[in-house]
């Protein structure tokens, strides 16, 4: 008996976890009792938040989605470094963590799927049957439809991007009007079915594309290697569009950057330079359109308030999660408590000197510190003030390192620097107090 055909579905979550859950539930409900294909769902969470740790998130997802009907689930938490990188990393993690008995064969497929889509088995089966019947096809795009059921205009093109299409106001896309499978130049990575052989041969997407055009580039490389790309209008996928948490300016910025990189790779230097010149006014327009809109700031303020409070009845979950993260770093809490204690000692020394010592001060013994103070004993308060400012700066730096997640272990460095600086100030102030007493 030949080995069962296998399909790996890669879905990247960017703040769209509810959509991902809905996608999985709808698909599982549409499956027959005995599917003919083994399906491995690779769900990667690339959203930066403190709501749940990686293990808690994985446990939550595994509890809700169990392996059944030849569907197997793999959940990963990954850093967000762009769509192409995230997809490639998710596939590598799947290969590293799959069972030893997992065996690839020539009919295996990879499906790249947006999280804000709805996919049903009947439509996916059409695409799989087409790939099985057309062995020369390296990749096939499923038809993305909007909430009204209309075919999305930008889901594929019979021509590759060029300035000719730009001036034709086609946004670099000239779609096919055929209602049957048709050979195209490129198809969208929002629902792209790829033969595993070609995915591994081309080593996935080009990770220099952060967002957009990675699918166009992938299809271009397929064509250069002699493969074929098809668009399947009958295999539809419902697409909500814009479900991820990213502003319009960020979308445009990534689109123009990827567009320029694509032209740099595949078009002439003249076309590339002309494109950069033509796109410059668009960048300025979208910057002001996004960041000077009152609605944006109203939304940002609401998000900031929610991220801190999250409703009192819920017990400030994000703030509490941050505190748990803070406490998890070895010795960090103890260092900052010691630092606070040293600040209080400095303040106590300054108050004692101000009350019990008389002016003028004798400061020549402290000249090695580079401090020249002449006047009354109120100058002692410079020491606790300086210590407080340095502590505040180092604390903010430590919070930034914790929030970065990638460098959170270094948060102990500014804390230690603050502690060392305060110790020096205590010794210096004590020296002044002894001399002037």
The pLDDT score that the predictor gives to residue 365 is 44
| Helices 332-356 & 317-328 angle (0-180, nearest 10) | 90
Residue 129, helix vs strand vs coil: helix
Residue 77, helix vs strand vs coil: strand
| Helices 269-291 & 248-266 angle (0-180, nearest 10) | 180
Rounded (to 5) percent helix, strand, coil in the chain: 55, 15, 30
Residue 301, classified by CB atoms within 10 Å of its CB into exposed (0-12), middle (13-18) or buried (19+), is exposed
The pLDDT score that the predictor gives to residue 244 is 58
Q: Are the beta carbons of 143 and 180 closer than 8 angstroms?
A: no
**Closest listed residue to residue 300, CA positions, set 249, 241, 240:** 249
**Tokens for 81?**
């470094």
Within 10 A of 17 (CB to CB), how many other CB atoms are there?
18
**Region at 311 (left for phi over 0; alpha for psi -120 to 50; beta for the rest):** left
CA atoms of 175 and 120, how far apart (whole Å): 24
Q: Which residues of the chain have pLDDT under 50?
A: 1, 310-313, 364-368
- Report domain extents, the chain: 6-239, 248-292, 329-436
- Architecture of domain 6-239 in this structure: Alpha-Beta Complex (3.90)
CA atoms of 21 and 13, how far apart (whole Å): 10
Q: Are the beta carbons of 145 and 160 closer than 8 angstroms?
A: no
Provide the 8-state DSSP code for 4: P
The pLDDT score that the predictor gives to residue 270 is 92
The pLDDT score that the predictor gives to residue 311 is 46
**Closest listed residue to residue 230, CA positions, set 320, 346, 129, 80:** 129
Q: What is the pTM of this model?
A: 0.68
């Amino acid at each position: 008996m030949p080995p069962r055909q296998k399909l790996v579905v890669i879905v990247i979550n960017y703040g769209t976890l509810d959509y991902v859950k809905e996608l999985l539930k709808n698909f599982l409900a549409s499956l027959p009792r005995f599917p003919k294909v083994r399906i491995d769902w690779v769900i990667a969470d690339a959203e930066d938040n403190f709501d749940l740790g990686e293990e808690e998130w994985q446990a939550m997802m595994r509890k809700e989605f169990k392996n059944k009907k030849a569907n197997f689930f793999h959940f990963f938490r990954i850093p967000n470094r762009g769509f192409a990188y995230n997809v490639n990393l998710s596939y590598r993690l799947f290969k590293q963590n799959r069972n030893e008995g997992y065996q690839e064969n020539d009919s295996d497929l990879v499906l790249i799927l947006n999280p804000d889509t709805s996919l049903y088995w009947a439509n996916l089966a059409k695409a799989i049957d087409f790939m099985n019947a057309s062995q020369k096809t390296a990749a096939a795009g499923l038809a993305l439809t909007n909430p009204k059921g209309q075919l999305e205009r930008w889901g594929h093109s019979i021509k590759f991007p060029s300035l000719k299409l730009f001036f034709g106001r086609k946004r670099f896309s000239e779609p096919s009007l055929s209602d049957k499978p048709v050979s195209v130049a490129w198809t969208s990575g929002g629902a792209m079915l790829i033969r595993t052989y070609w995915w591994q041969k081309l080593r996935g997407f080009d990770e220099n594309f952060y967002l957009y055009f990675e699918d166009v580039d992938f299809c271009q490389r397929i064509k250069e290697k002699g493969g074929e790309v098809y668009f399947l209008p009958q295999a539809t996928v419902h697409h909500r569009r814009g479900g991820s948490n990213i502003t319009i300016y960020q979308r445009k910025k990534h689109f123009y950057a990827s567009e320029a990189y694509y032209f740099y790779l595949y078009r002439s230097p003249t076309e590339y330079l002309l494109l950069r010149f033509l796109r410059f006014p668009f960048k300025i327009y979208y910057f002001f359109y996004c960041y000077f809109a009152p609605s944006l700031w109203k939304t940002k303020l609401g998000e900031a308030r929610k991220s801190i409070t999250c409703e009192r009845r819920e017990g400030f979950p994000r703030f509490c999660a941050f505190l748990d993260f803070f406490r998890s770093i070895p010795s960090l809490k103890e260092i900052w408590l010691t630092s606070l204690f040293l600040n209080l000692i400095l303040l106590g020394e300054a108050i004692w000197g101000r009350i019990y010592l008389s002016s003028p001060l004798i400061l020549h013994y402290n000249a090695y510190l580079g401090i020249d103070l002449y006047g009354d004993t109120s100058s002692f308060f410079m020491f606790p003030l300086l210590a407080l400012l340095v502590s505040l700066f180092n604390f903010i730096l430590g919070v930034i390192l914790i929030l970065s997640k990638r460098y959170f272990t270094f948060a102990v460095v500014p804390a230690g620097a603050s502690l060392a600086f305060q110790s020096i100030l205590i010794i210096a102030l004590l020296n002044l107090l002894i001399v002037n007493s």
